[in-house]
Every structure is written in structure tokens, then in C-alpha cells.
Structure 1
């Protein structure tokens, strides 16, 4: 049994209120990726954040009550800016490097126009300026992790998919096993099913910070959240996170549903031992203070392990502005704000 309680909740201003893009549209914070590097919380929006001194990836100090927005720092290297639609972060199994993945949910057959959606990036902890693209196309000047795209195509086996989870776990061989969480799969972007599936491959990182795969990507795990009686919505996997303090794996699943004319969003949290993961046993649904399922009222997309007993969940509510229980003095968030929850785990 794994039970959680809410330590604090709030919203984080990810950029100045009222920021607009080049077309004059209001920019919306849609936090889809989170990781804690031991000092700072690194976050990403799956939509661009415009401005010469900004990007979709940024870090904030982590205080005892939550993230501290006054210390925000954007990552602005060319490789960070070239990638689009960030979906998850992870630390390598040894904790020495940060990994970032985009969704891999679109590609152009006859051009490089959509390569920005196909990136796996790596940089040494604390040094995002030393970023590298993982598994690039061998041709000079071709952007993106196109060799990885080929590996994912073969492992997933369908024309369309979306990657939303990323985690690295220890392995007896090599430096670790890199996991990719699949949320959607099907024939096309408008013809798919929500899934909770994990594919992956072993990897090594050399002294120059280059990550290489030592075997092919293959399916490692899959489960059906709806098979659990506590789950009331069709879910897809939205984040993976390895907990090195307790040697276990967390999985986030989230949902979007139309119910009685209303747009319902939310999510669930799951946990499993690495032994259960390798044996392909179903994960356990994490509970709330009362022993029922921990059901998030916002669309849970980012998960960060802070220490042995605390987690931070970040939300990507798309264009949904309602704050729900987070709204002490107002009902709606600003477009620049991202909701979050700090959890204690027992």
C-alpha cells in the first residue's frame, strides 16, 4: 500500500502575465515535463514560450513549500530551442545527466519540416549549455533524433504514436535501461487509442556525454488502467519517473473526457517495484489520505521525485482555466500559470 497526502498546492507563473506570441495570441502554460536535479525543479511546456531570453524549458528553485518562481531561469541553447513539444524529463540511472524527450508524434515523409517533434536530448547535470542530441541522423546537418525515431517505429509497430514518458532505471548490463512511455497509438493522429505501454533499450554514456543504445528498442511493459475498479475514466500514460531512494517506478496516467456536456480532466498515480516491472505485473494505484484512489482534479502530466518521501506533480490543463480547489481567491488561473501539487508519500 502506498498512500499520499497533500503538503501544499499552488500555481507557478512560467512567464510574464499577458505574454503574446508573434501572431498576437495569448501564450498558455502547458507543463508536460518535470524533473528534480537535487537543487532545482526543471520544467517544460509542450508549447513554445516566445522571447529572446526564454524557451519552453526552464528551472526554478525548490523550497519546502513548493517551487519558487522568483528564481526562474530559462534554458536557451540552440538545441533546446530547436526541439518542439517536450513531454518528459528524466535523470540517467547514475543521476549524472538530464534527459528530455519530445512527443515523436509527427514526422514528414518527404522533408525535415517536422523533425523538431523528434528529439531526445542529454546534458550533464547543472550544465544545460553542454546539451547533445541523442541518436541523430548520420547525415550532416539533419536535425532531430531520427535514428531513435526508426527504433521507436519498429518497437511500437504502428504508423502513429505519442511518447509522453521517460525514465532511466538501473540495469545489470551497461549504464542503465532507458524507458519510453507510450500514451497514444494507432493509424493516425485522429485515429488512435489511449494506452499505457513502455518500450526501451539499454544505453551507455561516454566521458563526452554521448548516449548510445547498446541494443534495439523493444516492448518492456503494458497495462490497462481501466482494469482497476478505482479508475473511472479512459486513461493514457502521461509520465514515468524512477525513484532511486526506494528503488521503484512511478507512472502517471491522465484523462480527458466529455461527461454530461462538461470537459472532465484529471489523472491517477501508480507505483511498482522494479521486480514487478520486469515481471510485467500490474502496478498499484496510489491512494489518498482516506485510502481511496489518489485522483487529481487537473491533467497530471509532469512528475518529479524530490526525495524519499515527497513528489511534485505538475499539470498540463491545455486551455482549461478553472483552478478548482486551488482557487482560494479566484476561480480561474492566468494563462501564464501552471498548477502543481506537492505530495507526501508513505
Structure 2
């Protein structure tokens, strides 16, 4: 794997300045997913953006790898707009459809009140007003993919898990393509879990605009980032991205820890894994800077998109923190702005 170089750091608008929520508080941009669909950047916030004409999923043009927020357009179909906690996107291997997943980490067993946290959606890249639910079910008027929880639970052998990565890779030797779910947390519940870097895979095929699974969910990859001395903190998987030009996967792992003074430290590491090594369950390689050291992001990277021409576009979920890292050209962002980094693979 070659090294990476920072080409640009900046911010882009996710909505207009001064937008307030129902309690009169500023709405904060918390971008958790990004994909390049060949025409535009498609991104998602893991928090809802209020307003019937807005949505947590939105798109904008990209010029020289830089988002053009004056072209911002929201994806407002009800199934897209009303889902909660988007975590990652993936393009189908054909490049014709975009797949979006929520975290699948919340469920109320006594009602359908949290079912919208459990959605796997697919739509043609040029028709975001035509989303389809994968494995659709409906309970108390709430449409969701909650039935997929049985497959995830059986594969992970745990009652609690959190999905944060998604990638679609081509099938091998004439088999169906596979959808890969990156797992960040596994445990007994949302307060008792371990951070992991685990991948659940399942074969699928597209039938017109519907995504249909053709096999069982199973853990197909797992690695322990702590075995690398340069990985300073405990991390969990935060994104997956397939690179068709180089036939491999990028994996993002991020950390959220407190220092000795109680202040929160956040950051991330990027990894590269060829599909041959993925199939053989070999370890990934941490991506390095040109100087040779392991590259460490100074913010909580949550999504990576392959733009082509050996460029990567990385987005962050800074939670409510407005101060930007020392290396950023801006000291701070406004609540409506989201930070990004444009990288070159050299």
C-alpha cells in the first residue's frame, strides 16, 4: 500500500446557518457516511435535520475533490428522511444503486417505536425518490428492515451490536456479489460491549431495483488493531469502502478516549486490505504518511469515499465539538458546517 498525502482540509454546509431544533438549540452537523456515486457526493448525518424539505441524507457536486455546498440537495423520500442513525453507504458492484444502512443498535422489544433505527435501503443513484427497503416488514405503521436482526444476531452470537460500515464487493468465480457490514460494537447491551473490527458478509443480487439476499449472514473477517504498536488507542471499525480500481477495501477505525485530565481525545486510522488478503483473512496494513509513520486522523473519521484518480474523501462526525484540529486552516467550524479531508494516494 502506498502512502497518503493531505491535499486539502475544509468544511462544507449541510444546511443553512442558524437552523434551530424544536427546543430552540442550534442543529449540529454530524456527518457519518459518504459515497461517491460517479456524479456527486452523497452524505448522511447520524442525527435528523429538521424540516420536511430537509433530510439527514443529502448530495452535492464535487469539483477537484472539493464539495460545492451551493449545489446541496436533500433526499426527502419518506423512507430516507425518517430513518435514524445512518452509518454508511455502499455502491452496488454495478455502480447503478446506492445502499444505505443505519446502525441496527436500537430496538424496543415491546413496540415498533425504534424500528426506524433498523433500516437497510437501496435506490437507483439517479432516482433517490424511489428507495426500497431490504427485507421489508411493517409493524404499527412503521416500515423497517428489523427482520434482518435475526441474521446479524446469529452471525455475531450477541444480543447487542452496532453497524458502522458497509461495502459491496463483486462475487468470485461466478458467485453472487457480497454485501459487507462493518461491526464496531458487540456485547450484552449498549452499556456493556467491546469495540471490534469485524465484518459480517452475505451474498446478494439485484432483481430490478430490489436487493435480495441469497445466503446466510456470517462473520467473514475479524482483526485486532491493538497488535500494531503504532495504534495508540482502543479503536472500533467506523467505515468500509470498496476500491474497484485497486480491488481492495479501505477500513476506518476510530477512537474516543479521555486523557489524564478528563478531556476527550478523538481520532482515527485508515487501513488497506486487498480482496485476496480479505478472502484469506490476512491482516490489513495501516495506511502511512509519506514520512513513513502510521497516519493518524486528528478527528473522528466516520466515512471514506473513493473518488478515482487515487483520491480519497474523508468525512467526520465531531459530535458537538466546534473547535478544529491544529492542522486545519480554520480554528473552528459553525454548527451547520462539517469538516472534510481530501487525500491523495501516492
TM-score category by the smaller chain? over 0.9
Partner residue in 2 for 1:184: 185
TM-score w.r.t. structure 2 length?
0.96
How has the CA–CA distance of structure 1 residues 66 and 299 changed in structure 2, closer, same or farther, with 3 Å as cutoff?
Answer: same
2:254 is aligned to 254
Q: Is the 8 A contact 2:116 2:142 kept in 1?
A: no
User: Whole-Å Cα distance in 2 between the matches of residues 41 and 338 of structure 1?
Assistant: 14
2:339 matched residue in structure 1: 339
Q: Cα RMSD (Å) of the superposition? A: 1.4
TM-score by length of 1: 0.96
Q: CA–CA distance in 2 between the matches of 1:139 and 1:189?
A: 24
* Per-residue CA distance 1:176-208 (angstroms, 9 max, x = gap): 10000000111111111111000010001112x
**Number of the residue aligned with 2:315:** 314
> Residue in 1 aligned with 2:200?
199
Q: CA offset at residue 2 of structure 1?
A: 2.2
Counterparts of 1:159 and 1:175 in 2: how far apart (Å)? 29
DSSP-derived class of the 1:277 partner: helix
* Aligned 1:10-25 pairs, distance under 5 A: 10-25=10-25
Kindly state the Cα deviation for residue 137 of structure 1 after the two structures are TM-superposed.
2.3
Q: Does 1:137 align with 2:108?
A: no
**CA shift for structure 1 position 50:** 0.7
Corresponding residue for residue 264 of structure 2 = 263
Distance in structure 2 (CA, Å) of the matches to 1:29 and 1:163: 20
User: Which residue of the partner structure matches residue 232 of structure 1?
Assistant: 232
Q: Distance in 1 between matches of 2:339 and 2:307?
A: 17
Which has a greater percent of strand?
A: 2
Unaligned runs of 5+ in 2: none
1:229 & 1:53 partners in 2: Cα distance? 48
Q: Partners in 2 of 1:337 and 1:68 — Cα distance?
A: 13
Q: CA deviation at 1:327?
A: 4.5
Is 1:88 paired with 2:88?
yes
SS of 1:275 mapped into structure 2: helix
Find the counterpart in structure 1 of residue 73 from structure 2: 73
Q: Contact (CA 8 Å) 1:240, 1:250: kept in 2 or not? A: yes
Structure 1 partner of 2:58:
58
CA distance in 2, matches of 1:174, 1:148: 22
Matched, 1:161 2:161: yes
Q: Distance in 1 between matches of 2:11 and 2:279?
A: 36
CA distance in 2, matches of 1:139, 1:190: 27
* Offset at residue 52 of structure 1 (A): 1.9
Return closer, same or farther for 1:52/1:139 CA change in 2, 3 Å cut-off.
Answer: closer
Report the CA distance shift for 1:326/1:41 in structure 2 as closer, same or farther (over 3 A). Answer: farther
Give the distance between the partners of 1:311 and 1:32, measured in 2 at CA.
16
Three-state SS of the structure 2 residue aligned to 1:288 is coil
2:288 counterpart residue number: 287
> Does the CA-based 8 Å contact 1:29-1:337 persist in structure 2?
yes
CA deviations 1:308-328 (Å, max 9, x no partner) are 400000000111221123543
